[in-house]
Structure 1
Amino acid sequence: MPIYQTRGELPRKRHQVLRRPDGELYREELVGNYGFNGPSSLLYHTEQPTAVVDTRWVADMTPVQAPSKDHRNRHFRTSPIPHGGNWVQQRTPLLFNDDVVISIARPTEAGDFCYRNGEGDELLYVADGEGVLETAFGLIEYRREDYLVIPRGIVHRLVPKQGVEHCVLVHEFRGHVTTPRRYKNQQGQLKEGSPFSERDLRTPQDLFQRSGPATVMVKHAGQLHEYSLAHHPFDVVGWDGYYFPYAFNARDFEPLVGRYHLPPPVHQTFEAEGAVICTFAPRPFDFGEGAIPAPYAHSNAMSDEVIFYASKEFMSRKGVEYGSITLHPDGVPHGPQPGKTEASIGATWTDELAIMCDTFRPLKVAEGAVEYEDEGYFTSWVE
């Protein structure tokens, strides 16, 4: 994000001496991506962040492709995915390729560890739930319908509020998640006319410190490893830079509408290497004379389309439910199901809320997704 942030105690110059009250040095840590060429932030720790006491391998997190490789439109009902466990180890992968893994998590606890994804950025959509995202950069309180953007390498801990059911749509991207380039000027600021602005993004607040030993789970090359650290990674007294986690609520997306139907890119919210994310937010329908609000049938040339239905309503689809996920792959046309085009004519408003991920490489169905599939979905366009 092209936004400069600063928190806590800092020396006047980068890489300049900054001492603790006892005279010892605070320890710098540069966190960023693309080596030393991408966005970064500089953190000041009370103790050395590199003091590793022990490591051990925990699990293979690589998704496994389902045996059936049928090429068809698919529908997964995710509501039966069980609640339990933490937000890292209890993820159920549904779809994946070399650019992204799409999973559902229903955590009931934070776990006694922090987490660092060492192979990609994470984009979480909190369909249900509320709590606190703890990071070395500070706290972010999250709520229902929040996106949480957590760049690669940032240590964090998702702490669900007790007694509040969670459903989290998880995207793990190989590339950096950012706001769309077409929304930004040469300086990187979101332009007037974009569907949201920097004012809508909630950055970490309230630096807090933890001390003593800590456990950090690190994901790298599909493997989950446990690191035992001599010092807690949340012992930061100050930081500044351009690389940090943030939250954005889907209800703060300002939809672009026209007299006649506009294509899905007007709903784009984020982009990453090999994929885009769109938010279909509540909005007025197309208002031209004779306008057809429902989308026209289309073939997904060079992309696979995944939609997570975050409300019970969706103007062009029937047979889906809250929490459903559909996959419409490249090479197969899809569009409104029978009766939905006619039903949309004359409608003035939709309360739908859905999250779409379009990928530019084919997606594979994960082994664990099969038991949640509505196997007859691909025939649902037959009248």
Structure 2
Amino acid sequence: MIDYRKLGFVSTKQHTICEYEGKMLAEHVITRDGFNEQYSILYQKRAPTHEIKVELLQHDNPFFPSFHKTNTHELKRRHFQTPIYKKEGSMLESRATLLINDNCSIGIVNLSKSDENFFSNADADEIFFVPEGSGILQTIMGEIDYKKGDYLFIPKAIPYRFICHSKSNMLVVEGKSKFGIPAEFKQPSGQIKLDAPYNHRDFKSPTRLLNFEDNENYCVIVKKDHNLTIHEYTDFPYKVVGWDGWYWPFSFSIYDYQPKTSSVHLPPTIHNVFSGNKFYMMNFVPRMLDYHPKAVPCPWPHSSVDCDEAIFYVSGDFTSRKGISNYSISFHPAGIPHGPHPERYEQSIGAKYTQELAIMVDTFEPLFVTEAAMVLEDRKYHFTWDSHDHL
């Protein structure tokens, strides 16, 4: 993950008797890659293993966690008009998976009410981007206040829920392994390098622990292999009084990202923010544009023959596109060229600054389009590169 953090009461020595308020605590170790990578230790009033009932959960959202790949195989550029997706509610009620492969998935959430139960994704790490709204991300490791512009990262299998203060139309990306800070931004010791686009202080871990003292039955919903099970306990199973380690949820504001610029246009890899196994996430943020006297700030038309590309448009007048509303997603698969609309390429000459805000996911294995995405598709999009077309 990022670095060592600590919150609340922990033992002076790992794996030894630890008492709190006169009672012995359970030491709960959460670890990756067996016991070979990052871990955290949670000190709890009891071990979280006292289920009294486990069963498959059937709920009425057909787009998550289940999904259906389409049987359409046209190789074309696509535009998913996500603002027309009207299903709202809690995170599980309003979530839809739009693009997926064996390493990651890309989806949306129209969060308009708080979650009742905690949810644990045992398949993947998750990162939510909050383009609007505010609330509290409650995790078993404590609470994080979130606001407009925040990324919210929840490590694999960490139970959490959203307390919604105002509506948020979120982007969500799942990464099955090695999801987090790109290796090129870190020293061998793990410290973030001085030339990285952010530093350790920009990542906010939970600031306060949960306070669950109820003695009533409580349920936690777990996703595994794209199925949900509901686990019922005699009381809330994660009464944590403290934790420490390297494995923890965080928030990161896109407004704290430090963009890089050049005299001529550079590839989008200079905008990397997070990465996972065979995929990268990139930020396009307000920044100074290329400053060579003959620079063309708009991206070049390109054939990135080994990458699929998906872009979530947040706000501003995007340099290379026309006719796309905020929160829409474009999808440009490998195998065919793509790039700016022709007039945008020429219009960018002489521009000094951009106010665009967008998030891109590039994958090194093909993304499959789901039926949920096809419901939202703008079927004319592939042909909007005709310079005579006016949207």
TM-score of Structure 1 vs Structure 2, range by shorter chain: over 0.9
CA separation in 2, counterparts of 1:233 and 1:268? Answer: 38
8 A contact 2:50–2:237 mirrored in 1? no
Alignment partner for residue 189 of structure 1, among 188, 191, 202? 191
CA separation in 1, counterparts of 2:285 and 2:292? Answer: 20
8 A contact 2:130–2:168 mirrored in 1? yes
CA separation in 2, counterparts of 1:265 and 1:380? Answer: 26
Say whether residues 1:258 and 2:262 are aligned partners: yes
CA separation in 2, counterparts of 1:308 and 1:68? Answer: 22
Alignment partner for residue 88 of structure 1, among 83, 86, 92? 92
| Equivalent position of 1:68 in the other structure | 72
Unpaired runs of at least 5, structure 1: none
| Equivalent position of 1:147 in the other structure | 151
State the secondary structure of the residue aligned to 1:88.
Answer: helix
| Equivalent position of 2:371 in the other structure | 367
Letter in 1 for 2:51: V
8 A contact 1:87–1:158 mirrored in 2? yes
| Equivalent position of 1:206 in the other structure | 208
CA separation in 2, counterparts of 1:358 and 1:223? Answer: 26
8 A contact 1:149–1:246 mirrored in 2? yes
Q: Please list the CA deviations of residues 191-237 of structure 1 after superposition, one character each: whole Å capped at 9, or x if unmatched.
A: 11111111111111111221333211000011011111223144100
Letter in 2 for 1:185: Q
- 1:166 Cα shift? 1.2
Alignment partner for residue 225 of structure 2, among 221, 225, 229? 221
- 1:89 Cα shift? 3.5
Scaled by the length of structure 2, the TM-score of the pair is: 0.95
CA separation in 2, counterparts of 1:92 and 1:166? Answer: 14
Aligned length: 380
State the secondary structure of the residue aligned to 1:298.
Answer: coil
- Equivalence map 1:12-161=2 (5 Å): 12-21=12-21, 23-59=22-58, 61-161=65-165
CA separation in 2, counterparts of 1:89 and 1:244? Answer: 25
Q: Please list the CA deviations of residues 264-312 of structure 1 after superposition, one character each: whole Å capped at 9, or x if unmatched.
A: 0000000101210000010001011111100111112211000000114
Q: Please list the CA deviations of residues 90-115 of structure 1 after superposition, one character each: whole Å capped at 9, or x if unmatched.
A: 21111111111211110222222001
Alignment partner for residue 180 of structure 1, among 179, 182, 189? 182
CA separation in 1, counterparts of 2:184 and 2:288? Answer: 23
8 A contact 2:116–2:161 mirrored in 1? no
CA separation in 1, counterparts of 2:238 and 2:289? Answer: 47
| Equivalent position of 1:7 in the other structure | 7
Counting aligned pairs with the same residue, the percent is: 35
Letter in 2 for 1:357: V
- 1:381 Cα shift? 1.0
8 A contact 2:2–2:181 mirrored in 1? no
- Equivalence map 1:278-297=2 (5 Å): 278-297=282-301
CA separation in 2, counterparts of 1:10 and 1:107? Answer: 34
Q: Comparing 54-63 with 23-32, which one deviates more in the overlay?
A: 54-63
Letter in 1 for 2:43: Y
State the secondary structure of the residue aligned to 2:241.
Answer: strand
Letter in 2 for 1:284: M
Scaled by the length of structure 1, the TM-score of the pair is: 0.97
8 A contact 1:209–1:234 mirrored in 2? no
Q: Cα gap change, 1:201/1:100 in structure 2, threshold over 3 Å: closer, same or farther? A: same
Say whether residues 1:238 and 2:237 are aligned partners: no
8 A contact 1:123–1:177 mirrored in 2? no
CA separation in 2, counterparts of 1:179 and 1:11? Answer: 29
Q: Please list the CA deviations of residues 95-141 of structure 1 after superposition, one character each: whole Å capped at 9, or x if unmatched.
A: 11111121111022222200100011001111222100001211100
CA separation in 2, counterparts of 1:11 and 1:93? Answer: 41
- 1:83 Cα shift? 4.4
Structure 1 runs (4+) deviating above 3 angstroms are none
State the secondary structure of the residue aligned to 1:79.
Answer: helix
Letter in 2 for 1:275: F
| Equivalent position of 1:165 in the other structure | 167
| Equivalent position of 1:301 in the other structure | 305
